[in-house]
Amino acid sequence: MPDSGNRKNLIPWGWLSGFSPGKALLKVLSAHHLVRAGAVMLTILTLFSLIGPFFSSFDRDAVAVEKIQESPGDGHILGTDELGRDIFVRLAYGGRVSLSVGIIAMLIQLAIGVSLGALAGFYGGICDSVIMRITDVIMCFPFFVIALSVAALTGPSFRNVILIIGLLRWPAMARVVRSGTLALKNSEFIEAARALGLTRVEIIFRHLLPNILDSIIVYGTLNVAYAVLLEASLSFLGLGIAPPQPSWGTMLSAAQSMSILQNCWWIWIPPGSMVLLVVLAINFIGEGLSEIFSDRSHR
């Protein structure tokens, strides 16, 4: 009988094994300049979204008809929008919404994609065929065609835009995890785990997934940026976040007016810059992590 005390990972969990979460984070940040730059940018933008409203005395949805489309000044740090609402405050609240959509949608993609990809790669056969045919069906349709159709039927809301992005973007993650699982499932350490009497679930979650964690982290990180872009696109078209709740996408929708584009730069440039900076920061982190993991695997 196998000794249950030996039921542990037969290989390390990667180059961060043995580190506490704090030390592991510091090790990653010190390992690559792109990761450092992206982390600093993302931290600043997140802090702005969290504490920005405390630096202004205006309410998020307070309408001031006498101050419509005022340029920055007179207490309004970034001016006012087409309804006289303070843009600085709405920009901070919009950051909370846009970043939350990106993170939660990514977690949904990970939960579905990682689970189904691991099952398809490890079990193979009919299970693999069924899961992969489902992913093929979802991926064969252009994302925006399905997303716009579903959003038009369900209506704009915070919950709906998260579900649309999360439930339509998991197939790519499933393919990544399935590929990594197929490459490892016949390895010697997996055969040793079977010999020790570990169940299939234990093998998948304690041995297979930790060894493709680098691909999952990189892909998941980049998916946050993509989800932020998708939310901004849907909200720009009026099918994302429902007004008056702000997001960077809903604030950008004001740029559909030519007069605002030409004469009121303070209405559309700040939210557009925020989307650009967040996507750039997250891509820096993703690219840096990809290079770190790639160098580590080569060594």
In the structure, what pLDDT confidence band is assigned to residue 275 with cuts at 50, 70 and 90? very high
Residue 247 lies in a domain: yes
Residue 75 lies in a domain: no
Q: Is pLDDT of 252 > 50?
A: yes
In the structure, what pLDDT confidence band is assigned to residue 272 with cuts at 50, 70 and 90? very high
Instruction: Report the predicted TM-score, pTM, of the whole model to 2 decimal places.
Output: 0.84
Instruction: Give me 1's structure tokens.
Output: 């009988």
In this prediction, residue 4 carries a pLDDT of: 41
How far apart are the C-alpha atoms of 278 and 43, rounded to whole Å?
Answer: 10
Of residues 13 and 207, which shows the higher confidence score? 207
Total tally of structural domains belonging to the chain: 1
Instruction: Give me 115's structure tokens.
Output: 């689970």
Residue 58 lies in a domain: no
Continuous segment of H or E residues that includes residue 226: helix 213-236
Q: Residue 221 half-sphere exposure, CB side, CA atoms within 13 Å?
A: 21
Instruction: Give per-residue pLDDT as tens, 189-246.
Output: 888 888 888 888 888 888 888 888 888 988 899 899 999 999 999 998 888 898 888 9
In this prediction, residue 98 carries a pLDDT of: 93
Q: Is pLDDT of 247 > 50?
A: yes
How far apart are the C-alpha atoms of 230 and 217, rounded to whole Å?
Answer: 20
Continuous segment of H or E residues that includes residue 50: helix 33-51
Share of the chain above pLDDT 90, in %: 39
Out of 13-17, 45-49, 265-269, least confident range:
13-17
Give the domain CATH number at 279.
Answer: 1.10.3720.10
Residue 47 lies in a domain: no
CA-wise closest residue to 290 among 205, 222, 209, 223:
222
Instruction: Give me 266's structure tokens.
Output: 């303070």
Full residue range of the structural domain in which residue 223 is found:
93-298
CA dihedral 79, 230, 118, 12 (to 10 degrees): -30
Q: Is the preceding peptide bond at 244 cis, omega within 30 degrees of 0?
A: yes
Residue 163 lies in a domain: yes
In this prediction, residue 30 carries a pLDDT of: 61
Residue 98 lies in a domain: yes
Residue 86 lies in a domain: no
In this prediction, residue 225 carries a pLDDT of: 92
Residue 80 lies in a domain: no
Contact 115, 131 (CB under 8 A): no
